[in-house]
């Protein structure tokens, strides 16, 4: 089932991209939003929680990409699905977290 593998790669891209801000924030010793904070997704979690959450996302992304189907970097559909998942979650997170970190500023003309 090719579509099932592509769907897995799409979500693998989501988890791999989501791992980045959590791992980086945690490694920098900074608090950042996680699903475990109050209010959920808006409050801050410790740097330790962020490292753990980031590595959990890396593990899930790895499992979805490397253990479902036969992911091949030379196959455009596989790479597009992975990249699209990463792009979609990145755009969503940029808007979501931008509310809290000043990333959604607009200049008035």
* pLDDT, tens digit, 9 for 90 and up, residues 37-82: 888 877 899 999 999 999 999 999 999 999 998 999 999 999 999 9
Q: Does residue 8 lie in a domain region?
A: yes
Q: Does residue 64 lie in a domain region?
A: yes
Q: Does residue 38 lie in a domain region?
A: yes
Please state, in angstroms and as integers, the Cα–Cα distance from residue 73 to each residue in 65, 83, 85, following that order: 11, 11, 15
Q: Does residue 109 lie in a domain region?
A: no
Name the token pair of 85: 């998942």
Q: Does residue 33 lie in a domain region?
A: yes
Question: Does residue 108 surpass a pLDDT of 60?
Answer: no
Q: What DSSP string describes 27-69?
A: HTT--EE-TTSSSTTTSEE-HHHHHHHHHHHHHHHHHHHHSSS
Give me the domain span that covers residue 65: 2-101
* pLDDT, tens digit, 9 for 90 and up, residues 85-100: 999 999 998 888 877 7
Residue of 87, 82, 91, 90 lying closest to 8 (CA atoms): 82
Q: Does residue 97 lie in a domain region?
A: yes
Q: Does residue 36 lie in a domain region?
A: yes
Neighbours of 4 (CB within 10 A): 10
pLDDT of residue 105: 58
Neighbours of 78 (CB within 10 A): 21
Number of domains, the chain: 1
Euclidean distance between CA atoms 50 and 46, whole angstroms: 6
Kindly state the average pLDDT of the residues 20-45: 90
Q: Does residue 62 lie in a domain region?
A: yes
Question: Does residue 107 surpass a pLDDT of 90?
Answer: no
């Amino acid at each position: 089932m090719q579509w099932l593998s592509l769907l897995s790669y799409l979500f693998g891209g989501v988890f791999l991209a989501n791992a980045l801000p959590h791992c980086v924030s945690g490694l920098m010793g900074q608090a950042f939003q996680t699903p475990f904070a109050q209010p959920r997704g808006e409050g801050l979690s410790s740097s330790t929680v962020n490292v753990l959450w980031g590595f959990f996302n890396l593990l899930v992304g790895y499992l979805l990409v490397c253990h479902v189907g036969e992911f091949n970097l030379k196959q455009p559909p596989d790479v597009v699905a992975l990249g699209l998942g990463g792009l979609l979650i990145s755009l969503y997170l940029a808007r979501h977290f931008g509310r809290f970190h000043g990333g959604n500023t607009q200049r008035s003309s």
